[in-house]
Amino acid sequence: MLLAIDMGNTQTGLGLFDGDALAYAWRMPTDRSFTADELHVRLLGYLHMYGLSLDCIDTVAFAGVVPQLSREWEQAARRITERTIAVGSATAQVTKLRAPNPAEVGADRIANAVAAETCYGAPAIVVDFGTATNIDVVDEDGYYIGGAIAPGLRISMDALVARAARIASIPLDVPERAIGRTTTEAVQSGAILGTAAMVEGLVARIRRELEAPEACVIATGGLAGLVANATDAFDVVDQQLTLKGIAEIARRMGMFESAE
């Protein structure tokens, strides 16, 4: 089985693939203080939840945006198997990028582009709701060509609460209307409906630039489901898109085989 690891700035997603199927998935905090030992113990715990052991893992593939934690994960992975690979320069031959500075493109964005083309076709637009809200664009030939990066929904909310003395922490719920009748509703409208409106506007502009009005729009990331309830901009909500992209890259590198 293949263990795919998506290390974000706030959360880390883990997925265990059996052939094409994502058999198990977990999420954990991204803590920069974690050592390889701590990661090893946590992974053991997740596997034991389902009666599994480290012996079931023969390949580990990961994409990370936190360099120091990537090194710790690599050490933890090599305790399990020598078949490990990180999305990036080592996998460039099996990914398609049309970017002025390919080294600047985050590994998670590369994985999203690969998964979007593989699972949903091209052209495609991926909106990833994480620490940042990333929009990744795949052209008609399946190449990642760029996108947009905006502050994530939680970052925006945290900043508002920290700077506005009269606003306490407010739950992230989709309001019934854009005109908030209370402070809570007004903040929810600005944060959630505002994020949805931003996505709608950027998706419309990107489709025009691509000259592809029917380009598939995929939402992923921890808050994808929440924002999807506030807009009809998305054709698909796929919470595991990044993990699927990591697994696909490992397959293309010949490190993992699809089910027949």
86, 70 contact by CB (below 8 A)? yes
Does 221 count as an annotated binding residue?
no
Annotation-wise, does 79 bind a ligand? no
12 is in an annotated binding site: yes
Is 183 part of any known ligand binding site?
yes
For residues 119 and 122, what is the distance between their CA atoms, to the nearest angstrom?
9
Known binding residue 6? Answer is yes
* Gap between the Cα atoms of 134 and 225, Å rounded: 15
Nearest to 233 by CA among 186, 197, 184, 187: 197
- Residue 71: CB partners within 8 Å, gap ≥ 6? none
Is 13 among the annotated ligand-binding positions?
A: yes
**Cβ partners under 8 Å of residue 231, min gap 6:** 196, 197, 199, 200
Tell me whether residue 10 is annotated as binding: yes
Between CA 259 and CA 158 the distance in angstroms is 44
136 classed as catalytic: no
Is residue 173 annotated as involved in ligand binding?
A: no
Please list, in sequence order, all residues whose beta carbon lies within 8 angstroms of the beta carbon of residue 230, skipping any fewer than 6 positions away.
174, 192, 193, 195, 196
Selecting among 20, 58, 108, 173, the annotated active-site residue is 108
Residue 1, annotated as binding a ligand: no
Is there a binding annotation on residue 106?
Answer: yes
Positions marked catalytic:
108
Binding site residue list = 6-13, 106-109, 128, 131, 183
Binding site residue list for ATP = 6-13, 131
Binding site residue list for substrate = 106-109, 183
